[in-house]
Chain A
């Protein structure tokens, strides 16, 4: 079972979820290049100008670890990255768990993405303008954490330690992406987990993904926001297990 984090965090965002599957599955956790503990030097501006670059990394990780017929769990933009990887290498994953997926964030005629083009550009401008306030605030947040000794120093320091320049580029790639056409080409079975009141991936988007995927289940979670894996891990785990139980119980990674 391969877990892929989305924009804004790293593999730590799975910390309340993956232990629930550790007995049954081999767990693969990683940080996208430019996030968390990844080697920032490996960041290649050209490669990561589209989600395919990130999908190639997932394929490489799975091939290195001999993952076949596995389960891919992707949050936010990584749900689509996993879908692209599964199209390019169908043998890797039998199932995709897509948490808060969105194939396109900007509205387009009949399609509702949740954002106007102007809003997305406002976001990208914010990233350009507010660099200092943003990174300083993050440094304060991450470094000054005397009240929670149970979080190890290592964890605190690596959590959300995204390089601001790379974060900017990742945001640009994410929020300007349009992978709607890829959905119909996904052959793996998919579970779409949709949050209530998710400003980033509204219900209409989740419904669209579910409708376009050839073989998918759709679950609307009680959880609000965009990160049910953190805010409502029990509900997330339960929805995933229900989905898997409907499958062949023999399946293992």
Chain B
């Protein structure tokens, strides 16, 4: 028996945790040796005092304001982090459990307080807190960086957009300059013809000589000036189209002489005209003008000479093609102008129909030719497409909607065309 009690006392005194018993009034009745050793005090020093008397000031306040009420209301508390004060004034971090022991009638007998040394744990917690704080700081810095990064990107994008807008404006001005230069040059030439004709006219008239050729020259100069203004109007899409039913084959045939002369000796003209070609309803002058424009571009793309082919064909644009190229599906008459010239890069192809876009030198091209063609084709409800390969050549295909005229008219026109051919 005595052996058993010794054993229990040894367990109590030398347990790896502190044990404190307090009476119903909160005063300590018993503390084990472990607890006394931790605090550097005699066991007898604890008796009659309260547990909170050995806490640091914050612990005292928290004990009174939080844990004592908690104890009273739920009868226990667990793992509360508190600091005890040793006899030498140093601190001992502990975790404290406390539980009320009551008798059968519910009266409070005593309070058992168990204390664990939490020096290591508190250190880990502090390190963890510090790690968390520095992680939070790093995160905050990163967020700040991200935030300013977004700002910097927004600024850069805005600057880029501004400079692009400025560039576009500059390009437009350059194009207008080129156009103005080209027009001035052309007009000057035409006026020179008219003026010199008038000058000669004046002199010959005084001598009573034949003046008809000078009148013809002045007429020609004035006509060309009028044609130029017509082209400018076409570019501004203000030209009046007078559509009529016509056969493209016939038109191409009629143009070939003029085209051959224009193309010069080094470029060979070939025409591949489809039999049974449908008729189209379009403005004859505008279509001629378009073919002429394309032919001149083709010629300029073949400075070393080459072959220019004008081809016609009946064509059907299906739903898929129509959806892809923003054109109404259906039957079209195709007129293609193909050269064996230098070809275009995809960049040039993308801009080829832009007004004022030109690859020719200043004063040579107005940048209006293809744009004018494009304007005419669109105004006629048609479609235009460029196929080109660098070094191989370029093919530009114009599609104009098929005209379903009265059979009689068509027969009549076909007969007429055959007679002409």
Residues of A that sit less than 8 Å from B by CB: 6-9, 12-13, 15, 76, 115, 119-120, 122-123, 125-127, 129-134, 136-138, 140-141, 144-145, 147-148, 151, 156, 159-160, 175, 197-200, 224-227, 230-231
B58-88 to A contact mask, C-beta < 8 Å, 1/0 = 1111101110111011111111110100000
| With A8-B66, A12-B73, A230-B68: A140-B25 Cβ-Cβ less than 8 Å | no
Cβ of B78 and Cβ of A115 under 8 Å apart?
Answer: no
Cβ of A145 and Cβ of B56 under 8 Å apart?
Answer: no
Q: Which residues of B contact A127 (CB under 8 A)?
A: 58
Q: Which residues of B contact A148 (CB under 8 A)?
A: 74-75
Rounded to whole Å, the gap between the CB of B67 and the closest CB of chain A is: 8
The closest CB in chain B to the CB of A13 belongs to B69
Cβ of A141 and Cβ of B125 under 8 Å apart?
Answer: no
Q: Which 8 A-B pairs have the closest CB atoms?
A: A8-B65, A133-B81, A126-B58, A226-B64, A123-B58, A230-B72, A119-B57, A137-B80
Of residues 103 through 160 on chain B, the ones whose CB sits less than 8 Å from some CB of chain A are 118, 122, 125-126, 128-129
| B307 within 8 A of partner (CB) | no
| B329 within 8 A of partner (CB) | no
The closest CB in chain B to the CB of A115 belongs to B57
Q: Which residues of B contact A76 (CB under 8 A)?
A: 65
| With A9-B65, A140-B79, A226-B65: A133-B57 Cβ-Cβ less than 8 Å | no
Q: Could you tell me the distance between the alpha carbons of A147 and B59 in the complex, rounded to whole angstroms? A: 26
Cβ of B58 and Cβ of A122 under 8 Å apart?
Answer: yes
29 contacts between A and B (CB under 8 A): A7-B65, A8-B66, A9-B65, A13-B69, A129-B126, A131-B129, A133-B81, A133-B122, A137-B80, A137-B81, A138-B66, A138-B80, A140-B79, A141-B79, A141-B80, A147-B76, A148-B74, A151-B74, A175-B61, A197-B50, A199-B60, A199-B61, A200-B60, A200-B65, A226-B68, A227-B65, A227-B69, A227-B72, A230-B72
Cβ of A145 and Cβ of B66 under 8 Å apart?
Answer: no
Rounded to whole Å, the gap between the CB of A205 and the closest CB of chain B is: 14
Q: Which residues of A contact B72 (CB under 8 A)?
A: 227, 230-231
Q: Which residues of A contact B122 (CB under 8 A)?
A: 133
Contact of B65 among A6, A131, A197 (CB under 8 A): A6
Cβ of B69 and Cβ of A160 under 8 Å apart?
Answer: yes
Q: Which residues of A contact B60 (CB under 8 A)?
A: 199-200
Q: Could you tell me the distance between the alpha carbons of A12 and B73 in the complex, rounded to whole angstroms? A: 9
Which of A9, A130, A132 has most chain B Cβ within 10 Å? Answer: A130
Cβ of A231 and Cβ of B79 under 8 Å apart?
Answer: no
Q: Which residues of B contact A230 (CB under 8 A)?
A: 68-69, 72-73
The closest CB in chain B to the CB of A119 belongs to B57
| With A115-B57, A137-B79, A224-B25: A145-B68 Cβ-Cβ less than 8 Å | no
Q: Could you tell me the distance between the alpha carbons of A138 and B118 in the complex, rounded to whole angstroms? A: 16
Cβ of B78 and Cβ of A156 under 8 Å apart?
Answer: no
| With A130-B81, A230-B69: A199-B64 Cβ-Cβ less than 8 Å | yes
Cβ of A123 and Cβ of B61 under 8 Å apart?
Answer: yes
Contact of B81 among A13, A123, A134, A197 (CB under 8 A): A134
B17-32 to A contact mask, C-beta < 8 Å, 1/0 = 0000000011000000
Q: Which residues of B contact A147 (CB under 8 A)?
A: 75-76
Contact of A9 among B50, B52, B58, B69 (CB under 8 A): B69
Q: Could you tell me the distance between the alpha carbons of A138 and B59 in the complex, rounded to whole angstroms? A: 14
Q: Which residues of A contact B25 (CB under 8 A)?
A: 224
The closest CB in chain B to the CB of A126 belongs to B58
Rounded to whole Å, the gap between the CB of B157 and the closest CB of chain A is: 38
Cβ of A132 and Cβ of B69 under 8 Å apart?
Answer: no
Q: Which residues of A contact B70 (CB under 8 A)?
A: 141, 159-160
Q: Which residues of A contact B74 (CB under 8 A)?
A: 141, 145, 148, 151, 156, 159
The closest CB in chain A to the CB of B53 belongs to A199
Rounded to whole Å, the gap between the CB of A5 and the closest CB of chain B is: 9
Rounded to whole Å, the gap between the CB of A74 and the closest CB of chain B is: 14
Q: Which residues of B contact A200 (CB under 8 A)?
A: 60-61, 64-65
Q: Which residues of B contact A197 (CB under 8 A)?
A: 50
Q: Could you tell me the distance between the alpha carbons of A224 and B26 in the complex, rounded to whole angstroms? A: 9
Rounded to whole Å, the gap between the CB of B90 and the closest CB of chain A is: 14
Cβ of B78 and Cβ of A141 under 8 Å apart?
Answer: yes
Known A-B contacts: A200-B60, A227-B68. Give 14 more (CB < 8 A). Answer: A12-B73, A123-B58, A123-B61, A129-B126, A136-B79, A140-B78, A140-B79, A141-B70, A141-B77, A141-B78, A144-B78, A159-B74, A199-B61, A225-B26
Q: Could you tell me the distance between the alpha carbons of A126 and B93 in the complex, rounded to whole angstroms? A: 12
Q: Which residues of B contact A131 (CB under 8 A)?
A: 129
The closest CB in chain B to the CB of A167 belongs to B66
